[in-house]
Amino acid sequence: MLKEFKEFALKGNMIDLAVGVIIGGAFNSLVTSLVNNILMPVLSIVTGKIDFTNLFISLDGKSYTTLEMAQKAGAPTVNYGLFITGLINFIIMAFVIFMIVKAMNKLRKPKEESPAKPTTKVCPFCKSEISIEASRCPHCTSVLEETE
């Protein structure tokens, strides 16, 4: 069983996946920082200085000025501002991944398609097109040599 696990864990795809997950985690923190520290402040200026992190609905009926105050009071909240931030994170991450994949596809050399193997040949006697596997021409009934 240990041998089977070792074979499974050391397959090329498994290692590629592990590297992808690690890079993805680092990439996620980078995009989150981009959104929280650069885009959201600019977006809040455009939207009239709205702080998305403080957009929430308190479910206990009381009014709180910030999400932090509501959480300290133990009030249940619907944090739709944090959801908007997460949605923006996702859109930016999806767009950046799309651009990376697009660039990688341009860098790859297109695979040269190998010419298709012929499926027919010409009878040397009657010049009719016949199956490449034929040993006798169906048109003139000549026996064909194996070396063709």
Tokens 């040397």 belong to residue: 124
Q: Are residues 77 and 125 in the same domain?
A: no
Q: Which amino acid is present at 114?
A: S
Q: Inform me whether the pLDDT recorded for 33 exceeds 90.
A: no
pLDDT band of 12, cuts 50, 70, 90: low
The answer to whether residues 80 and 136 belong to one domain is: no
Indicate whether 27 and 89 sit together in one domain. Answer: yes
Q: Mean pLDDT over residues 51-57, rounded?
A: 84
**Count of structural domains within the chain:** 2
* pTM beyond 0.85, yes or no: no
Q: What secondary structure does DSSP assign to 90-139, as a single string?
A: HHHHHHHHHHHHHHHHHHSPPPPPPPPPP-EEE-TTT--EEETT-SB-TT
| 128 and 79 in a common domain | no
Same domain, 97 and 24: yes
Give me 82's structure tokens: 């944090």
- What is the pLDDT, as a whole number, of residue 83? 92
**Same domain for 126 and 82?**
no
Distances (CA, A) of 127 to 120, 137, 138: 12, 10, 12
- Please report, for the domain that includes residue 81, its CATH number: 1.10.1200.120
Give the three-class secondary structure for 53. Answer: helix
- Per-residue pLDDT tens digits for 71-120: 999 999 999 999 988 888 788 878 888 888 888 888 887 766 777 888 89
Beta bridge partners of 121: 130
Same structural domain, 103 and 130: no
- Based on the fold, state whether residues 119 and 89 are members of the same structural domain: no
Based on the fold, state whether residues 86 and 37 are members of the same structural domain. Answer: yes
- Tell me, yes or no, whether 133 and 101 share the same domain: no
Q: Which domain holds residue 51?
A: 2-107
